[in-house]
């Protein structure tokens, strides 16, 4: 055994620790000096921070490890000094300076595993050389050596051999004496290796055994776990479309792997948290090239997305249909996110062209989009609120295969909502032309107004008028009378006039539109020839009578005054 080996062995024995390890750098890629991102384009948004070091954290953790060696070695002080010197090397983006540090460290004392780590990263000019350097301290059960070899084998495409080292690390990590010191995020690569070596089913099975703290709590794990579990779910035929019935607002301590795998929500986590990686994988965004810094910015960084794509794009490409699925998922999420802004009617101005482009590029048209607070909203129900262009978007969605009859809650179609929220004549026309009836009956056992009655109740005269115009059958005297009863008994009359709040306003729902007019609605009915006999008049009057309040608006229309003279005189 050489000097290094025997000294380290002694140090280990004397320390009572099974393994010695030093805090890893944040980037589990451990990029070697010659490695590059797989693109050829220089993306100015790529987050480089010049010097790579986050050395303060390393040094503070090191004092423990260096100390452990130092106190137990005959040359303790020197060993400690050498390790500090080697760590300094991680602070340089300039490889020459890093290598100088490593060599200086080894000159201070040969028991300096960290120096070999620096040499592998900064001095190797290919994977074989790196492997050789890592192997120097591999036999001494040194975490970084094991990971260096495993990770390098992974990058060389020798996945089976690589996995052996990763599995060894997982065993070591269960030992509290070592795990508390390692911080080495080898976990980031596990799903990739499981997928490559064992296939999707086994990958999902193994992932389920992991708890949050073993995986996604490291920010550098999120993309590779979300993305590779998404790919595994797709490859195992567990997901085919945008469908997340179990999505809820995030609980305080989610059981990530259970939700991601069993509830099949990995794709949703990926889409919502890491759109950049979806855009890179699907070619929606150009893949950047360039050197890979050792220091990782946050999990939402372009750099992390690009590092993942560099490692795993081939896996996606090899899985038939996977990139097509991801592209449609990404477009669906973006489309829903964009339209969610238009649903908030206080901010109604949108650009239509980008939305149409997403639909053309491929979406899942019947998706229930998962929005903020985990709302589940069909794309069609969101489209009706977009201004301008709602009708164009609706027609495009239907042409792309959206089911116009899709319902939410107690049987609400997009037409119910368009009538209730006054989405305009064009929206009503496109929905009715696509096959929804203003007289649509509610599902059995559900008390729900017909779409046309929702327009009537809410005072949305334009939508009511358009519904009546579009009715081919059923435009009868009976219908007109029913509408009149709904109008005159609506609690919104009082609310719109500034009186007691109606149910809609009391619940904090969207405000009544600016275009509400009960007068115009009564006119519309009367213009269509509706006349009431005495008993019917009494019925209508009693409806109004229950609602004393500001009815100023009602009954002033010309037609109405001429044909219905029973309204109470206003003073
Ligand atoms: Zn109301
Ligand atoms: Zn109201």
Per-residue pLDDT band at 567 (split at 50, 70, 90): very low
Question: 475 CA distance to ligand 1 centroid (A)?
Answer: 25
Please tell me which residue, 131 or 57, carries the higher pLDDT value.
131
Question: 376 CA distance to ligand 2 centroid (A)?
Answer: 25
Residues 6+ apart with CB under 8 A from 85: 101, 104, 105, 108, 112, 115
543, with CB counted inside 10 A (0-12, 13-18, 19+), is middle
Helices (H), 409-563: 414-420, 425-433, 451-458, 461-470, 477-488, 492-496, 503-506, 518-527, 534-545, 558-563
- pLDDT number for residue 5: 55
Range from 166-180, 417-431, 452-466 carrying the lowest mean pLDDT: 166-180
Q: Which ligand is nearest to the CA of 490?
A: 1
Question: 504 CA distance to ligand 1 centroid (A)?
Answer: 5
Question: 501 CA distance to ligand 2 centroid (A)?
Answer: 5
Question: 401 CA distance to ligand 2 centroid (A)?
Answer: 35
CA distance 511 to 570: 27
Compute the average pLDDT of residues 116-143: 85
Q: Which residues pair with 306 in a beta bridge?
A: none
Q: Which ligand is nearest to the CA of 505?
A: 2
Q: Which ligand is nearest to the CA of 495?
A: 2
Question: 502 CA distance to ligand 1 centroid (A)?
Answer: 4
Q: Which ligand is nearest to the CA of 498?
A: 2
Question: 442 CA distance to ligand 1 centroid (A)?
Answer: 20
Question: 471 CA distance to ligand 1 centroid (A)?
Answer: 25
Q: Residue 568: pLDDT above 60? A: no
Q: Residue 432: pLDDT above 70? A: yes
Range from 464-468, 472-476, 481-485 carrying the lowest mean pLDDT: 472-476
441, with CB counted inside 10 A (0-12, 13-18, 19+), is exposed
- pLDDT number for residue 298: 84
Q: Residue 525: pLDDT above 90? A: no
- The CATH number assigned to the domain with range 3-183 reads 1.25.40.10
Residues 6+ apart with CB under 8 A from 165: 146, 147, 149, 150, 153
CB 303 within 8 A of CB 46: yes
Nearest to 99, CA basis, from 78, 82, 124, 77 = 124
Q: Which ligand is nearest to the CA of 506?
A: 2
Select, from the ranges 132-146, 195-209, 441-455, 474-488, the one with the highest average predicted confidence (pLDDT): 195-209
- The residue extents of the domains of the chain are 3-183
Angle at 524 between CA 523 and CA 526, to 5 degrees: 60
């Amino acid at each position: 055994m050489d000097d290094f080996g025997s000294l380290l062995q002694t140090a280990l024995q004397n320390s009572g620790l099974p393994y010695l390890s030093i805090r890893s750098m944040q980037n589990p890629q451990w990029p070697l000096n010659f490695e590059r991102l797989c693109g050829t384009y220089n993306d100015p948004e790529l987050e480089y921070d010049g010097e790579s070091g986050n050395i303060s954290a390393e040094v503070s953790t090191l004092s423990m490890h260096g100390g452990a060696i130092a106190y137990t070695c005959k040359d303790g002080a020197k060993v400690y000094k050498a390790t500090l010197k080697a760590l300094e090397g991680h602070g340089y983006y300039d490889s020459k300076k890093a290598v100088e540090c490593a060599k200086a460290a080894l000159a201070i004392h040969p028991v300096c595993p960290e120096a070999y780590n620096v040499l592998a990263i900064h001095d190797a000019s290919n994977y074989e050389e790196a492997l050789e350097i890592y192997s120097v301290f591999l036999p001494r059960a040194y975490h970084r050596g094991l990971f260096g070899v495993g990770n390098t084998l992974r990058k060389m495409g020798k996945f089976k051999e690589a996995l052996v080292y990763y599995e060894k690390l997982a065993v070591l990590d269960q030992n509290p004496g070592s795990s508390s010191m390692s911080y080495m995020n080898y976990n980031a690569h596990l799903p990739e290796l499981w997928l490559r070596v064992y296939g999707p089913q086994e990958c999902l099975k193994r992932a389920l055994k992991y708890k949050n703290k073993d995986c996604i709590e490291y920010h550098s794990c999120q993309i590779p776990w979300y993305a590779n579990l998404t790919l595994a779910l797709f490859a195992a035929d567990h997901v085919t479309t945008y469908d997340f019935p179990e999505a809820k607002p995030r609980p305080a301590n989610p059981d990530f792997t259970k939700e991601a795998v069993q509830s099949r929500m990995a794709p949703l986590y990926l889409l919502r948290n890491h759109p950049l990686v979806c855009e890179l994988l699907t070619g929606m965004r150009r893949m950047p090239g360039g050197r890979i810094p050792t220091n990782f910015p946050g999990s939402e960084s372009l750099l992390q997305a690009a590092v993942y794509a560099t490692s795993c794009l081939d896996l996606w490409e090899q899985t038939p249909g996977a990139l097509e699925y991801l592209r449609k998922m990404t477009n669906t999420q973006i489309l829903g996110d964009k339209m969610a802004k238009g649903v908030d009617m206080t901010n109604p101005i949108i650009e239509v062209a980008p939305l149409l482009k997403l639909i053309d590029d491929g979406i899942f048209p019947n998706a229930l989009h998962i929005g903020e607070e985990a709302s589940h909203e069909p794309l069609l129900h969101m489209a009706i609120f977009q201004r301008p262009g709602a009708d164009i978007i609706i027609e495009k969605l239907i042409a792309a295969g959206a089911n116009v009859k899709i319902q939410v809650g107690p049987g609400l179609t997009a037409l119910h909502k368009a009538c209730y929220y006054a989405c305009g004549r064009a929206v009503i026309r496109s929905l009715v032309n696509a096959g929804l009836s203003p007289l649509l009956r509610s599902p059995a056992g559900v008390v729900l107004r017909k779409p046309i009655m929702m327009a009537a109740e809410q005072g949305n005269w334009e939508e009511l008028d358009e519904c009546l115009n579009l009715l081919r059958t059923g435009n009868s005297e009976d219908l007109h009378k029913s509408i009149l009863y709904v109008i005159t008994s609506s609690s919104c009359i009082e609310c719109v006039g500034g009186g007691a709040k109606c149910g809609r306003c009391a619940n904090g729902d969207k405000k009544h539109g600016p275009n509400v007019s009960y007068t115009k609605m009564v006119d519309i009915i009367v213009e269509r020839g509706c006349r009431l006999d005495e008993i019917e008049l009494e019925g209508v009057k009693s409806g109004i009578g229950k609602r004393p309040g500001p009815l100023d608006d009602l009954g002033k229309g010309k037609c109405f005054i001429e044909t219905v003279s029973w309204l109470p005189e206003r003073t």
